[in-house]
Structure 1
Amino acid sequence: MPFTNAFRKMNEEKNTALSSSEGTRVLLFIQLLELGGSETQCVELARRLAAEGYSVTVGCLRAGGPLRKKLLESGVRCVVFPVPGTLLRPYAILQMLKLVAFIRRERFSVVHTNDLYSNLFAIPAAWLARVPVIVSSRRDLGRWWWYTPARRKLLRRIQRFSTRVLVNSEAVRQELITRDGFAPERIVVVHNGIDTERFAAARADREKLIPGTSANDKLIIMTANMHTGAKGHGDLIEAARTVRETCPEARFLLAGDGEMRAFFEEQVRTAGLARMFIFLGHRTDIPQLLSCCDIGVLTSRSEGLPNAVLEYLAAGLPVVATAVGGVPEIIENEVHGLLIPPDNPGALSTAILRLMKDEQLRERLGKAGRERVETRFNFSRLLASVKRIYEKRLSSSGRRQVIPARSFHRANSSHGNLHL
C-alpha cells in the first residue's frame, strides 16, 4: 500500500507538472489561411495565445495560404482536413470523423471556430469528441447568398452545440438575438483587435511603392475583396466622377482582388476614370500602403466589424465609412471619422471632398481615430476577453476529460495526411 500510494502521488505530481508546462490545449479552426479579416484575426489570436503559454493548433479545410507562413514562424502547428467543394459529400463526413479522432487523441480542452464553414464542420466534431469548451463565431450580418432560411436554421442548430457564441460587434449580437433566437447570455461580444504599433510605425516611399503616383496626388484607398458587389466598389467609382470635377489630383487605390475585379475595371474604363484608379490586387504590405495615403474609405453595404476601418485608423488616416453593422461601434461621427449612409455615391463624394479641402479636419479625425483604436481595439483587450471565455467555461466544466477515440481507430490511424 505505501508503495502504491507513493507511486500514485508521483504520477499525480508528474501529471500536474506536465499540465502546467503544456498549458490549455486549444484548437482554433478556420476555413482557409488566405488574406482576409477573419483569417487574420484567427492567426493573430493563435500567435498571441501561444506566446501566453497555451498549446495552440490551427486547423483548416484548405491547405496553403500566405498566413500559414506566419503561423509556422511563430511555432504554431497547422493541420488540414481537406474538404473540396460542398460539406454534404461523404468525403466531408469522413474528414469530420478524422477531426473527431484528432481532437480526442490530442485531448483539446477548447475548440474555437472562426468563420461560417468552420462552424459547420468543426462544431459537430467537437461536440462528438465531448470537448469541454466549444466556442463558435459569427462575424457578419448574414447578408449574402448563403444565408437562405433553411441554411440559417441549420447553422442555428449547429451553433447551439457550442458553449458560447463569440461575435465581433453588438450589431451582430442583436442580429442573432432578434433574427435567430439565440439566448442573449450565450453570446459574447469581443471586438476585433489590431496591431496598432505595426501601422503607426510603417513608412514607405510613395512613388516607389505605388508606381504612377506623385507627391502631388491625393491618395484615397479602399481595401476590400472583390468577390461580390457588397463592398460598394460601384458606389466609389460613381462618386469619383464628382470628386474629379473639383479635385483632379485625387487618385483612388483599390487593394484587394476577386471574381468581380474585371467588372470593376471595365466600369472604371467606361466612366472615363482610368487615370484616377489604380487596381493593386492582393497586398501583404497594407501598413506601408496606408502610410502613403491621405484618406481611407469603406463603402460596404453590410459589415460585422471591418478590419479595414481599424487599419485606416491605426495608420492615422481620416476615414469616410458607411454606417453599417458594427462600424458605428468604431467611429463616432465627426469625432473619429465621417459616417455616411450606404448606397449613396452623392454622400460619399461630399464627405471625400470635405476631407480633401480641410487639412485641419483631416488631422483632427486622424489623431482621434488612432487614439480610439489604441485604447479600444488592441489585441491585448481581445486576448484578455478570449482567455476569460476559455477559463471561465473550463472552470465551470471541471476540465472534464475527453473519451479516447477507440471507436474511431481507422480514422485515427490514417492521420498522416493532416499536417500541412
Structure 2
Amino acid sequence: MKARGYDVGILTFFRGGLLESQVRAAGVDVMCIDRRETPAVTRAEHWTSHAAALFDFVRVFRRDSARLVHFYLPAAYIVGGLTALTARQQNLVMSRRSLNDYQLGHPTAARVERFLHRRMRILTANASAPVSQLVEEGAPPDRTLLLQNGVDTAPFDTAPPRHEMRQRMALDQNALVLVIVANLIPYKGHADLIEALGNIAGRIDRDWVLLVAGRDDGPGKALEERAGELGLGRHIRWLGPVSDIPALLRACDIGILASHQEGSPNSLLEYMAAGLAVVSTKVGGVADIATDNVEALLVPPRDPVALGQAILRLMQDAPLTERLASGGATRVRNRFTLDACVDAYARLYDLMLAEPPLPAEEIARRYRSSWPVRSRTSLSESVHVEAKPREIAVGDKT
C-alpha cells in the first residue's frame, strides 16, 4: 500500500515480529504498544496488558490524523475497536482471518466482537466461510465483504532448480517428496497425517520422504515418537521453521494440508504456486481456492484413512498428479496473485476515503461490482481520492 501512495502506519501490541525490520525498511511507520518487560503468561496478565494498551491506543488515535483504521486479528479488533470508538474514529474496517473457533473458550471476547461488528463501517473476511460466520454473528450483510488472500508468484518462478534443491537437501533425485508447511499445532492435523502415512506405508512401492516445515508449538516430540512407532522415522525430516518456502517447495512433489480448520490457508496457495499436486482437507476457505479433482484432492478433516488414500492415489497416478499441479498453478496465477490482493485492498480503501463520503452500503456495492480486480485502474471519475491519505492498520504483531 505504501507503493500505491498511501501513508501507512502499523500499530501493534508486541515488538520483534518476524516482519518488523522488513516493514520498517520499506518506510512504513511501526508503532508498538508494549509496556511489559517480560511476556504475559496468565490470562489475567494478558488482559491487564490489553487494558493498559487501551489508553495508549486512544492517545495514538487522537494524536495521529488517521483517516482510516483497519483491524486485523481478534485482540487487535477488540482493543483497537473499542479505543477507536472512544477516540471518535468513524472510518473503521475489520478483517477476519480465520474461522471463529477461537471464540469458544472466550465468551466475553465473542460478545465484544458482536458489539463491534455493527459499529464498523466495513467488515471483511478472506474466505466465504468466515464471511458467513460474521453475518451469523450480527455483521450487516450489506457491509460484509470477501477480500481474499494473494501470493507473490515471482519467488516461485525464480527459485533454484529442482535438482539443485534436492542436492542441497541431500534428497534422492528420484524420491517422491511430500511436504507439509504448518506450525506444529494440534489443529494443523500433523497427527492425522502421521496416521495416514502409517496406514499406507506398506503399499508405497518407491522411495519417499515427508518434509515437515514449521515451528514446534508443543506436540513435536509426541509426533516424532508416534512416527517412530509406525516405522516412519527414516521417512520424515523435521525441518523446523523455514524462511525460504519457494526454494523448499521446488524440491517437492506433493503438498499436504491436513488442518481441522482454516480461514484461507496461504500454504495451499504456496503449494499451488510452486506447481505441486495437493491433498487438502476441505475446511474453511479451502473450497474457495481449489476444486476437488481439478486443482487438488479434497478430503474430510480428521479422517486419516481418507487422507492416506488420497496421498496414495497421487503417488500411484502420475497423469493425475501432473494435471492437478498444472491446474493449481494456473488457478493461483489467474485469481490469487499478490497484485490482485493489493488491488482489492486499494479499491476498498479508495472507496472508503472518497470525497464526498459514500454510504457504507454503496462502498460495498461498488467493491463487489469491481471483483475480481485484475488491473491497477483508477476509480470512476465520480469519486475523488486524496493522493496520500493516512491509514493505520492495527494488528497483534508485525
- Fold shared, TM-score > 0.5 on shorter chain: yes
Task: Quote the Cα distance in structure 1 between the aligned partners of 2:49 and 2:269.
Answer: 39
Give the paired residue count.
349
Say which is worse superposed, 215-224 or 141-150, in terms of deviation.
141-150
Deviates more, 1:85-94 or 1:157-166: 85-94
Q: 2:210 aligns with which of 252, 271, 282?
A: 252
Equivalent of 2:174, from 213, 216, 233?
Answer: 216
Secondary structure of the structure 1 residue equivalent to 2:19: helix
Q: 1:100 to 1:145 in 2, by over 3 A?
A: closer
- Residues 118 and 138 in structure 2, CA contact (< 8 A), matched pair in contact too: no
Distance 2:104 2:240 in 1: 25
> Of 113, 116, 119, which aligns to 2:71?
113
Q: Give secondary structure in 2 for the equivalent of 1:283.
A: coil
The answer to whether residue 23 in structure 2 is matched with residue 71 in structure 1 is yes
**Aligned position for 1:94:** 52
Corresponding position of 2:110:
152
The aligned counterpart of 1:202 is: 159
Match of 1:361 in 2: 320
Change (3 A) 1:396 1:302: farther
Structure-1-length-normalised TM-score: 0.78
Tell me, yes or no, if the aligned pair for 1:230 and 1:302 is still in contact at 8 Å. yes
Q: Distance in 2 between matches of 1:60 and 1:292?
A: 36
Change (3 A) 1:132 1:394: farther
Displacement of 1:291: 0.5
Give the letter for the 1:366 counterpart: A
Q: State the AA in 2 paired with 1:323.
A: K
Equivalent residue for 1:243, pick from 200, 218, 243: 200
Contact 1:218 1:294 in 2 (8 A): yes
Amino acid at match of 1:245: G
Q: Secondary structure at the match of 1:328?
A: helix
SS at the partner of 2:89? coil
Match of 1:326 in 2: 285
What is the Cα deviation at residue 151 of structure 1?
Answer: 3.0
Identify the residue that residue 241 of structure 2 maps to in structure 1.
282
- TM-score scaled to structure 2, two decimals? 0.82
Q: How big is the alpha-carbon RMSD for the aligned residues of Structure 1 and Structure 2?
A: 2.1
Larger radius of gyration: 1
Write out the 4+ residue segments of structure 1 that deviate beyond 6 Å after TM superposition.
Answer: none
CA deviation after TM superposition for structure 1 residue 269, in Å? 2.0
The alignment status of 1:308 with 2:267, answered yes or no, reads yes
The separation in 1 between residues aligned to 2:107 and 2:356, in whole angstroms, is: 33
2:300 to 341, 352, 372: 341
Please state how far the C-alpha of 1:260 moved relative to its aligned partner: 1.8
Counterpart of 2:339 in structure 1 is 380
Please tell me the residue identity of whatever aligns with 1:155: E
Name the residue aligned to 1:59. 11
CA distance in structure 2 between the partners assigned to 1:339 and 1:302 by the alignment: 14
Of 86, 108, 122, the match for 1:164: 122
The residue type paired with residue 354 of structure 2 is: S
Identity score, percent: 33
The one of 224, 236, 250 equivalent to 1:291 is 250
User: Does the 8 A contact of 1:134 with 1:164 survive in 2?
Assistant: yes
User: Any idea what SS the aligned residue of 1:312 has?
Assistant: helix
Aligned partners of 1:145, 1:278: CA distance in 2, in Å? 34
Partner in structure 1 of residue 183 of structure 2: 225
Equivalent residue in structure 1 for 2:232, among 273, 285, 296: 273
CA distance in 1, matches of 2:291, 2:172: 33
Deviation at 1:93, TM superposition (A): 2.6
- Partners of 1:128 and 1:271 in 2: how far apart? 57
Unaligned runs of 5+ in 1: 1-48, 400-419
Q: d(CA) in 2 for partners of 1:108 and 1:61? A: 18
Distance 2:47 2:298 in 1: 44
